[in-house]
Amino acid sequence: MTGPVRLPHRLLLPLVVVGFILLSVAEVWLLTAVGARIGVWWTLAILVAEALIGSWLMLREGRKAWAALTGAYSTGRMPTGHLADAALILVGGVMLILPGFFSDILGLICLLPLTRPLARRLIGSLIARQAAKQGLDVNSLRARFGPGTVIRGETVEDAPEPPKPKPQVIQGEIED
């Protein structure tokens, strides 16, 4: 029995490019279908409204994420979830500002506080799966270095730099 099919890394970029092309074609198709159904002006009004709402939502959620991120740093906690939220908010805001209905759906999933944990878990599981394919056992690292884990060590100060030699004066000239 054979294992899962592994794609060479050189195929990843072409697959991403093809995915973006297919998404663009789907966006144009859906915009055309909606425009034919409700009219061009209503379709444009919906797209502008979505962009404005997306900008506002990105600012609001971005401020919350920034406050949570700085709060985690100030208390000395590791802000892994906060960093993921900030990245998802940024991606979601960009997706909502871009014209298109499919990208708006993805943007809302990334931006809304109710659906963002789902997106974070999905991306986390994809990253864990990729790490497992590379031979990293994420669960054992999580178990070893979970919350409350203390890693003993010592602080070593850097040795002071040796003083620079003073320039010597020879017949009125300074040499280095």
pLDDT tens string 16-30: 889 889 988 999 999
CA distance 93 to 72: 23
Q: How far apart are the first and last CA of the chain?
A: 72
Render pLDDT for 45-96 as a digit per residue (tens, 0 to 9): 998 888 888 888 888 988 888 888 888 888 877 777 778 888 888 888 888 8
Render pLDDT for 109-120 as a digit per residue (tens, 0 to 9): 888 889 988 988
Confidence category of residue 36, pLDDT binned at 50, 70, 90: very high
Query: Is residue 38 predicted with pLDDT exceeding 90?
Result: yes
Q: What is the dihedral of CA 24, 26, 31, 37, to 10 degrees?
A: 170
User: ∠ CA 64-67-70 to the nearest 5 degrees?
Assistant: 150
Q: By three-state DSSP, how is residue 93 classified?
A: helix
